[in-house]
Amino acid sequence: MAFEALKNLNHTAISGSILKLLTSLLDPSGKQRHQNAISLDEAINWCMHNCSPWVKQCLSQAQDSNMIDFLEKTLLLKHSRLFGDIDTEDIQSIAEILVEDFYQEGDRIFDIGDTSDQCYIIQSGKIGISLHEAQDKKEFVAILEKGDYFGEMGILDNNLRSATAHVIEDVQLISISRVQFQNIIQQHPEVAVSMLTRMNSIIRTLNNKLALAT
């Protein structure tokens, strides 16, 4: 019976109770998720040595399929600043509809004046945010890393991009379209609260920099 269940295992099954377990391991403090999180490989290795035989079998099944990619994406969303307050079950459904993109060092994700049609969460690598219209001028007002997100303001107010996003290190991104993002906010208002908190922090930082410059 257990073997048949494993044969028919899908993303939802593998990432239910197991995903909750991995989430607790990756976020032992419950604070600053994207900074405190250990790696997914470390969490899986711990489970393989300490959990029940059923959990070990499920994880072995996941490691032999593309489910591990789904787990990585789901856990990244759960530990991101943007989606950290959403229930694990809802995070799974969000992860299923989002796509991943890869950019090399030196690329630009978007430039000032571009159409705003997507926002992004960083899966790996670094992004530098510049307010200069000159594409080769790289004085960054922010440097973003794994778990951070950017590009959300433009898709909310339908305005053109107000900054340029430079790839500082090769970067793997999860992209969210305008329609997807608006649907997520409608279903999960806590995402909007997270965004407002971050915007207040950005404004405060910019005000401090302006005060020091005058």
d(CA 104, CA 112): 19
Same domain, 88 and 112: no
User: Is residue 202 included in any domain, yes or no?
Assistant: no
Q: Please give the single-letter amino acid code of residue 195.
A: M
Q: Please give the single-letter amino acid code of residue 128.
A: G
d(CA 77, CA 146): 10
Find residue 143's DSSP bridge partners.
128
Same domain, 47 and 122: no
Residue 22 confidence (pLDDT)? 59
Same domain, 176 and 111: yes
User: Is residue 194 included in any domain, yes or no?
Assistant: no
Taking alpha carbons only, the member of 91, 82, 69 closest to residue 23 is 91
d(CA 163, CA 141): 10
Q: What is the DSSP letter of 1?
A: -
- DSSP-assigned letters across all residues of 30-49: SSSHHHH---HHHHHHHHHH
Cα pseudo-dihedral 184, 15, 171, 111, rounded to 10: -10
Same domain, 179 and 124: yes
Q: What is the DSSP letter of 154?
A: H
The residue among 63, 96, 129 that closes a domain is 96
Same domain, 168 and 131: yes
Same domain, 89 and 11: yes
Same domain, 92 and 103: no
Q: What is the pLDDT of residues 151-181, one digit of tens each?
A: 988 887 788 998 999 999 999 999 999 889 8
User: Is residue 206 included in any domain, yes or no?
Assistant: no
Same domain, 114 and 89: no
User: Is residue 35 included in any domain, yes or no?
Assistant: yes
User: Is residue 84 included in any domain, yes or no?
Assistant: yes
d(CA 81, CA 84): 6
Residue 43 confidence (pLDDT)? 64
Cβ atoms 141, 169 nearer than 8 A: no
Same domain, 184 and 114: yes
Cβ atoms 71, 14 nearer than 8 A: yes
Kindly give the pairing relationship between strand 149-150 and strand 164-177: unpaired
d(CA 29, CA 210): 35
For the chain, residues with pLDDT lower than 70 are 1-68, 134-137, 198-203, 205-207, 209-210, 213-214
Residue 202 confidence (pLDDT)? 63
User: Is residue 130 included in any domain, yes or no?
Assistant: yes
pTM: 0.68
Q: Which domain holds residue 7?
A: 2-96
CATH number for 114: 2.60.120.10
User: Is residue 83 included in any domain, yes or no?
Assistant: yes
d(CA 53, CA 140): 49
Q: How many domains are there within the chain?
A: 2
Same domain, 140 and 161: yes
Residue 29 confidence (pLDDT)? 42
Rounded CA Rg of the chain: 19
Instruction: Return the sign of the alpha-carbon dihedral for residues 131, 107, 183, 192.
Output: negative
